[in-house]
Amino acid sequence: MNRNSNELTEDEHALLAHIHRAGEPVEANSFFAGMNTETGRRATERQVKLYEAYVSLWQRDLIESAIPADGLHADRMVPTKAGVAALRAAGGVPQG
């Protein structure tokens, strides 16, 4: 990955913004249906891209698990301080 650690792809930005706006720990994949408007095979490919964005946010420490998966629910995520800073840098979160 040859990009600044604060640079976000469009999918990363949208997913991180959803997680931030939730205001509480949330399953990141709960936003995928609203972010995926494709059908058929393209829907599957889009779903994979959304999971890649999710994993990228986690690998870059922009989100973290606040409530671990329990067999019924996936990890419930929150943005880290670095995640909020990345959103601010991208113009997605007001200062303050």
DSSP string, 11-31: HHHHHHHHHHHH-S-B-GGGG
- Condensed to tens digits (0 to 9), the pLDDT of residues 22-77 reads 999 999 999 999 999 999 999 999 999 999 999 999 999 999 999 999 999 999 99
* Range with lowest mean pLDDT among 3-12, 16-25, 47-56: 3-12
Predicted TM-score (pTM) of this structure: 0.88
Looking at residue 92, what is its pLDDT? 72
Topology annotation, domain 10-89: Arc Repressor Mutant, subunit A (1.10.10)
* pLDDT greater at residue 31 or residue 5: 31
Looking at residue 19, what is its pLDDT? 97
**In degrees to the nearest 10, what's the CA dihedral of 44, 49, 52, 56?**
-160
